[in-house]
Homo-oligomer: A and B are copies of this chain.
């Protein structure tokens, strides 16, 4: 999927999330106030949701909507996406 590897912004997003997760661990280990931990975890959640939306967008464009794909390729791309959306929509 060279199209994702060609998106340095996605890697940057994932690295920011890794930093946020490390900050949660640090807060737990340092016995930070519970409210601090709560807000940090909620921030991770927002960032992960944003990343998921970007990856879904990328997948939709490159594996379903892209001009020149075969009907079978589009069908597979749509199925992969729906599996995630159904899981995501719970």
- The residues of A with any CB-CB pair to B shorter than 8 Å are 1-5, 7, 10-11, 14-15, 17-18, 21-22, 24-25, 28-29, 31-35, 37-39, 41-42, 44-46, 48-53, 55-65, 67, 71, 74-75, 77-78, 80-90
Contact between chains at B5 and A38 (CB < 8 Å): no
Q: Which 4 A-B pairs have the closest CB atoms?
A: A53-B89, A65-B78, A35-B80, A67-B71
**Other-chain contact of A48, B41, B61, B67 (Cβ < 8 Å):** B41
The docked-state distance in angstroms from the alpha carbon of A40 to that of B29 is 26
**Other-chain contact of A45, B24, B32, B49, B59 (Cβ < 8 Å):** B49
The docked-state distance in angstroms from the alpha carbon of A87 to that of B10 is 19
